[in-house]
Amino acid sequence: MSDIYAMQRANGDVFALDNKGRFCVPLFHSSRDAITARLRNADMLVFKPVVLDARLLGELRPKGGENNVDLLLVKDPLRSLKRGDQVDYAELTLLVGNHT
């Protein structure tokens, strides 16, 4: 499996959208897809694509039993960032762990 990318700012913040009161973190199949999405969304201009690794995935883990973060693997970066496949945190942990 190839790498999965998230968008991150220099200070470490990960890009997330508000989706009906929940955080939605868009993930991408390639850095090219992430850059394409960034060009279409002005809110992402200060973010850059980074490989989703175990450390970054740990930062996305829901804290204190809360589960208000949706991880969404974007199918088409030219469309809405809210369109894609929702990925379970446990599934991503396995994918990232097997890839490193």
- For residue 14, the one-letter residue type is V
Specify the pLDDT at position 64: 66
Low-confidence residues in the chain, pLDDT < 50? none
pTM: 0.87
Specify the pLDDT at position 18: 86
Specify the pLDDT at position 58: 84
CA atoms within 13 A on the CB side of 87: 23
Specify the pLDDT at position 99: 54
Any idea where the domains of the chain sit in the sequence? Answer: 5-99
